[in-house]
Structure 1
Amino acid sequence: MTEWLYQLAPSPTLLLLIVLLVALCESLAVIGLLVPGVVLLTATASLAGHQHLSLPLLLAAAFVGAVIGDGLSFWLGHRQRERVHRLWPFTRHPEWLARGIMFFKRYGDFSILIGRFVGPVRPIVPMVAGMLNMPAWRFAAVNIASALLWAPVYLLPGYLLGHSWDKLLALPSSGERWLIALGLMLIILGVGFSWLRHQLGRGGWVYMRLARLSRETPRRRRLWLALSGAHPRNEIPLASLALLVGSLVALCGWTLWVLEHGNPSLPMDRQIRTLLASLTNSWLQTASNIMALIGDMLGIIALTLPWLAWLLFSRRIAAFLHISSALVGGGFANLIFKHLAGRIRPDTPDYLTGSFSYPSAHTSTSIVLIGLAAAFTAEALPAKRRMWVYWGATLACLPMALSRLVLGVHWTSDLIGGALLGLVVCAITRLSYQRFEHRPLTPCPWGWLTVASLALLTTRIIWLPHI
């Protein structure tokens, strides 16, 4: 199969040209909205890594394309500032331009840097900067600095994947069925959760059907009114209720099954551990070690401290108390489950001595943190866009969970138990939060808070490893 990939791959020179053009188009005004740049860059970077193409050359091609694309957008906005709003597609979608203008006015020069990493405004902000007469020298400085950061962030994951492709393809025959089963399970659960959450929300088919059934008898009507009356928007939070019931039942059943099979593990756990042992390489170990630092207590504090401080000082007390309680309560629940199960880890490094395996605290904590962030974000979005937030949260949680398997400190069943426990905590938190009137979480200085979180997290990773 590797020989087949080599035959399909373009020449190194053509690959560099493709990367440059994709980076340029993705940064170009309007066109960047239509080009699936992330997918194309990841694919070409993977081919480049597979061919062992020079990484500095690859990053340089992406850097040059991004600088030229933003530069052309800036020039267009500067030259056509009076006519931009009359050009297609802004005649049909004036909100695109309005969103870019509002974003630029809110963050100023910093919007060029943030815009590199934010899909909907990425190709609009440089043009808006030209329209609003940002000095060319200042734009050029921010453009170059942001492109230097953007190129490795977008290309390195694909390049590393392609560079390790040979090893990833050399799977033991016994592991193929587990990979297929896990992949199908994740897809089915993800699609099922998205569909069910939409149907149980206000306006969904299931919600509307239940509402109609409630009007058929006086008793049902009184029950429905009582339940919906407890909610500030006269809406029964069916999605959160269903998540709580489903995840709690699954957690209890899964935990009993794990305990019934005793130590050290299930047959599934041992086979998947053997599979992952054959895939272990240096960059996977390094990435997993970084994930371990991000997901422990100090890492979570570093990530959440700026956000919790903002919630507290902006007097959004309900959100502050619920998120804090969810993280602390989830931590205590993990300790209780670990001591009740008393399950031995597959491997116990010094910093985990005395800690049991089931459930995975890293997995449950990441689901609580990312899941609540997704829920609060989705709350402020139109119903049609909420699905993408939850899919993004799911994809963000996967690396944290899988890194525990790569490090060999958890069994696969530990991750499933941790995920279910995290979902239970998320559901309880959302049900409690939805019972109260509360201030909206927007507007929020999310750009500055993100930078502060990443700065604290970087400090924690570099100077405070495993303490």
Structure 2
Amino acid sequence: MDFVQLLDMLVHVDRAMGTLLAQYGMYVYALLFAIVFCETGLVVLFFFPGDTLLFIGGAFCATGEMNLGLLMFLLSTAAILGNTTNYWIGEAIGQRVFTHDYRWINKEALSRTHEFFEKHGGKTIILARFVPVVRTFAPFVAGVSDMTHTRFQMFNVTGAVAWVVSLCVAGYIFGNTPFVRDHLSAIVLFGVGVAVVPIALGGAWKLVRRMLKR
């Protein structure tokens, strides 16, 4: 697969999946594994369409072109390993931040973040799975905040399985209904908007309040 094909799949995954299955067969599982791993494991690839891939994958399982159990197992594994890698990267960077005197780093803020993750990090890791962009950065911040590895993995595995299974099963059940199939792009965009817009508005409101206090 060349770069153009990969880009086309990421942008028009609903149309590209059938072609890729016809051309590459079982290798599509490896491709989906790699995309989910990269989206959850590398902060620079936060734009990869994880939600859409899971839903479309489930829809193709309903037609018999893919195996639902195998797909959910592989992508759950990819999501767990991706978050773990992201956590390790954040942890490695975090250790240097805590042990070196960087003037541009607010160590007090880092300490507060660490305390937040110790108290509420589990819920953050699980819920972030269902929010595009946020799910890519949550494990990184957990690592930077020095959230304990055992605690992180407990919620990492729970969130990964819940995310993959729910969206794959939703695609399996609803992905091939005429309305969903004909309006998939609009539905995906609406879902992203519902997830991201409240977060953006909340951040903007906090920024405005901070500026007004000055």
What range describes the TM-score normalised by the shorter chain of this pair? 0.5 to 0.7
Q: 1:378 to 1:53 in 2, by over 3 A?
A: closer
Q: Which residue is equivalent to 1:75?
A: 88
| TM-score calculated relative to the size of structure 2 | 0.60
Q: 1:40 to 1:148 in 2, by over 3 A?
A: closer
Report how far residue 6 of structure 1 moved: 9.5
Say whether the 8 Å CA contact 2:41–2:83 is kept in structure 1: yes
Q: 1:31 to 1:47 in 2, by over 3 A?
A: farther
Greater C-alpha radius of gyration: 1
Q: 1:5 to 1:29 in 2, by over 3 A?
A: closer
Say whether the 8 Å CA contact 2:54–2:164 is kept in structure 1: no
Say whether the 8 Å CA contact 2:33–2:74 is kept in structure 1: yes
Work out whether 1:37 is the aligned partner of 2:50: yes
Q: 1:110 to 1:141 in 2, by over 3 A?
A: same
Report how far residue 158 of structure 1 moved: 2.5
CA-based RMSD of the aligned residues comes to 4.0
Q: 1:40 to 1:151 in 2, by over 3 A?
A: closer
Which amino acid is the alignment partner of residue 60 of structure 2?
L
Report how far residue 82 of structure 1 moved: 4.8
**CA distance, structure 2, for counterparts of residue 32 and residue 376 of structure 1:** 22
Q: 1:9 to 1:136 in 2, by over 3 A?
A: same
Q: Which residue is equivalent to 2:136?
A: 123
Q: Deviations over 1:139-166 (max 9, x none)?
A: 112111111111112222323345x47x
Q: Which residue is equivalent to 1:144?
A: 157
**CA distance, structure 1, for counterparts of residue 16 and residue 38 of structure 2:** 26
Q: 1:16 to 1:27 in 2, by over 3 A?
A: same
**CA distance, structure 1, for counterparts of residue 17 and residue 91 of structure 2:** 44
| TM-score calculated relative to the size of structure 1 | 0.30
**CA distance, structure 2, for counterparts of residue 127 and residue 5 of structure 1:** 31
Secondary structure of the 2:46 match is: helix
Q: Which residue is equivalent to 1:64?
A: 77
2:170 to 154, 157, 165: 157
Report how far residue 378 of structure 1 moved: 8.6
**CA distance, structure 1, for counterparts of residue 125 and residue 163 of structure 2:** 11
Q: 1:130 to 1:39 in 2, by over 3 A?
A: same
Work out whether 1:8 is the aligned partner of 2:19: yes
Which amino acid is the alignment partner of residue 145 of structure 1?
T
Structure 2, gaps ≥5 residues long:
1-14, 98-103, 105-109, 187-193, 206-214
Q: Deviations over 1:163-194 (max 9, x none)?
A: x47xx49xxxxxxxxx9xxx8xxx9xxxxxxx
Q: 1:40 to 1:134 in 2, by over 3 A?
A: same
Q: How does 1:331-370 map to 2 (within 5 A)?
A: none
1:111 to 102, 124, 128: 124
Q: 1:5 to 1:64 in 2, by over 3 A?
A: closer
Q: How does 1:62-461 map to 2 (within 5 A)?
A: 62-82=75-95, 101=113, 104=117, 107-161=120-174, 164=176, 168=178, 382=204
Secondary structure of the 2:26 match is: helix
More relative contact order, 1 or 2 (CA 8 Å, 6+ apart): 2
Q: 1:44 to 1:148 in 2, by over 3 A?
A: closer
Secondary structure of the 1:146 match is: helix
Secondary structure of the 1:123 match is: helix
Report how far residue 16 of structure 1 moved: 1.7
Report how far residue 28 of structure 1 moved: 1.6
Report how far residue 69 of structure 1 moved: 0.4
Q: What count of residue pairs does the alignment treat as equivalent?
A: 165
Say whether the 8 Å CA contact 1:71–1:126 is kept in structure 2: yes
Which amino acid is the alignment partner of residue 80 of structure 2?
V
**CA distance, structure 2, for counterparts of residue 6 and residue 63 of structure 1:** 19
Q: 1:74 to 1:51 in 2, by over 3 A?
A: same
Structure 1 window deviating more from structure 2 (145-154 vs 23-32): it is 23-32
Structure 1, gaps ≥5 residues long:
85-90, 92-97, 170-178, 188-369, 384-467
Q: Deviations over 1:268-303 (max 9, x none)?
A: xxxxxxxxxxxxxxxxxxxxxxxxxxxxxxxxxxxx
